[in-house]
C-alpha cells in the first residue's frame, strides 16, 4: 500500500520535489530544442496575436464565434501584412541585385560621384575634408574597404539564405499562421493559464504581463509603424526625383528610423547633397523639403497617436537594446530587445518595492483600440 504524501518523511518529499522540478526542466528544455527551428515564426505569431487581439474581439462580437473571428482576423493579417511584406521584400531583393550589378559593371561610378560632390562643396568644406584625409576617394575607399567587405559578406549570406531556403521560409510562414490562428482563438484561456503557471506572486506576474503587453504594443505601433511610414514617404520621394532603387532606400530609411536624432536623414541627406552637387536643383529641393517637412515630422505626429503613452524606457536603452537585438537575433530583435529592457526595468522596480525602497506604482491600463 502506498504511503500518503503527507506521511512521508520531509527529506523524501524534498527529493521527490527536486526530481519533479528536474524532470520539468528537462522536458521544457527538450521542447524548446525541438521547436527552436520555428522560434521566430512562433514569436511573431504571438506578437501578432497580441497586437490584433482587439480586432479579433470585434470580429467575435459581430460574427458570433471564436473560430469565425479567428479566421477573419487571420485573413486581414494575411492581406494587410503578410502579402505586402512579401511583395516589398521581392522588390528590395531585385533592386539590390540591380544596384550591385551596376556597381560591378561600373554603370554607377562612386569615384566620379564623390568627385562631383567634393568639387561642388564650398572651399572651406573642401579644405576641411582634405585635411581630415578624406579628399581622395581612393584613400576613403581604402579606409572603408574592410567595413564594406564585411557588409557585403553579411548581405551575401542573407541573400543566399533567402534564395536557398525558400521551402524553409514557406514552412515557417505556414507554421506561424497556423499557430496564430490558435493563439487568437484560445488567447483568452492561454494568457491566464501562463500567468497562473509562473512561479511568481500573482501581483508580480500581473505587472510583468501588463508591462509585456505595453512594451510590445508601443514598440510595434511606435517603432515599426512609424518606420514604415517614413520609409514609404522616402521611397515615394526618391521615385518622384528619379533615383534608382527607390524602394531599397525606402526600406533603409525605415530601418534607420529606429535611431534617434538623425534617423532617416542618414539616407535622404546624402542623396540631397549628391543631387545638388550634380546640378539637379529641383530634385535636391524636393528631397530636402520632403525630409524636413514630411519624413522628419512623421515621428512627432504618429507616435503619440499610435502609442498613446510612454513605455517608461529611456531612449538610450531603447536604442541599445534595439540595435543589440537586431545584431543578435535579426529582425525579431526590434521587438525582443526593448521587450527585455521593459521586463528588466519592471522586475527591478518590483524588487525595490518589495524591499520597501519605493511604493508600488500603478500599471497603466492596456489599450483596447484596434491598431
pLDDT > 70: percent of the chain? 70
Q: Of 369, 154, 322, which is closest to residue 227 (Cα–Cα)?
A: 322
What was the pLDDT predicted at 201?
76
Burial letters 278-307, b for 16+ CB under 10 A, else e: eebeebbebbbebbeebbbebbeebbeebb
Q: How confident is the model at residue 365 (pLDDT cuts 50, 70, 90)?
A: very low
HEC states along 98-120? Answer: HHHHHHHCCCCCHHHHHHHHHHH
Q: d(Cα 200, Cα 89) in Å, to the nearest integer?
A: 42
Q: pLDDT, tens digit, for every residue of 14-40?
A: 777 778 888 888 998 898 899 888 888
- Give pairs for 91-94: CB < 8 Å, separation 24+: 91/247, 91/248, 92/247, 92/248, 92/251, 93/159, 93/162
pTM, entire model:
0.66
pLDDT digits (tens, 9 = 90+) for 269-326: 888 887 877 777 888 889 888 888 888 778 777 766 665 455 567 777 777 887 788 7
pLDDT at 126: 64
CA dist list (Å): 288 to 119, 229, 230, 265: 20, 17, 14, 9
pLDDT tens across 153-200, in order? 454 445 545 444 566 777 888 888 899 999 888 888 887 777 777 777
Phi, psi torsion values for 356, nearest 5 degrees: 80, 15
| 262 DSSP 8-state letter | T
Would you tell me how many other CB atoms lie within 10 Å of the CB of residue 85?
Answer: 11
Most confident of 223-232, 314-323, 350-359: 223-232
SS3 label, residue 121:
coil
- 338, 318 Cβ separation under 8 angstroms: yes
pLDDT > 80? residue 268: yes
Statement: residue 11 has pLDDT above 60: yes
DSSP letter, residue 369: S
Amino acid at each position: 500500500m502506498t504511503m500518503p504524501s503527507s506521511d512521508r518523511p520531509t527529506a523524501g518529499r524534498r527529493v521527490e520535489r527536486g526530481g519533479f522540478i528536474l524532470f520539468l526542466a528537462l522536458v521544457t528544455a527538450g521542447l524548446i530544442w525541438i521547436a527552436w527551428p520555428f522560434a521566430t515564426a512562433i514569436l511573431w505569431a504571438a506578437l501578432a496575436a497580441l497586437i490584433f487581439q482587439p480586432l479579433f474581439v470585434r470580429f467575435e462580437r459581430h460574427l458570433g464565434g471564436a473560430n469565425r473571428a479567428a479566421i477573419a482576423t487571420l485573413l486581414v493579417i494575411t492581406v494587410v501584412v503578410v502579402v505586402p511584406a512579401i511583395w516589398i521584400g521581392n522588390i528590395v531583393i531585385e533592386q539590390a541585385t540591380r544596384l550591385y550589378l551596376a556597381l560591378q559593371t561600373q554603370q554607377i561610378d562612386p569615384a566620379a560621384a564623390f568627385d562631383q560632390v567634393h568639387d561642388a562643396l564650398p572651399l572651406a568644406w573642401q579644405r576641411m575634408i582634405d585635411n581630415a584625409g578624406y579628399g581622395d576617394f581612393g584613400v576613403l575607399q581604402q579606409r572603408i574597404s574592410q567595413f564594406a567587405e564585411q557588409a557585403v559578406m553579411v548581405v551575401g549570406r542573407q541573400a543566399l539564405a533567402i534564395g536557398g531556403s525558400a521551402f524553409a521560409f514557406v514552412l515557417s510562414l505556414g507554421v506561424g499562421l497556423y499557430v496564430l490562428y490558435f493563439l487568437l482563438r484560445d488567447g483568452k484561456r492561454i494568457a491566464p493559464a501562463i500567468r497562473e503557471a509562473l512561479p511568481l506572486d500573482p501581483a508580480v506576474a500581473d505587472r510583468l504581463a501588463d508591462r509585456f503587453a505595453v512594451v510590445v504594443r508601443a514598440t510595434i505601433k511606435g517603432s515599426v509603424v512609424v518606420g514604415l511610414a517614413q520609409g514609404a514617404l522616402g521611397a515615394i520621394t526618391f521615385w518622384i526625383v528619379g533615383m534608382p532603387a527607390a524602394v531599397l532606400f525606402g526600406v533603409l530609411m525605415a530601418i534607420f528610423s529606429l535611431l534617434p536624432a538623425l534617423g532617416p536623414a542618414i539616407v535622404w541627406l546624402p542623396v540631397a547633397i549628391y543631387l545638388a552637387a550634380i546640378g539637379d536643383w529641383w530634385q535636391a529641393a524636393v528631397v530636402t523639403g520632403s525630409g524636413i517637412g514630411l519624413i522628419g515630422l512623421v515621428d512627432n505626429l504618429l507616435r503619440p497617436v499610435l502609442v498613446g503613452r510612454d513605455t517608461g524606457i529611456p531612449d538610450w536603452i531603447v536604442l541599445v537594446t534595439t540595435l543589440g537585438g537586431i545584431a543578435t537575433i535579426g529582425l525579431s530583435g526590434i521587438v525582443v530587445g526593448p521587450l527585455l529592457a521593459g521586463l528588466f526595468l519592471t522586475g527591478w522596480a518590483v524588487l525595490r518595492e518589495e524591499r520597501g525602497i519605493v511604493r508600488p506604482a500603478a500599471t497603466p491600463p492596456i489599450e483596447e483600440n484596434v491598431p
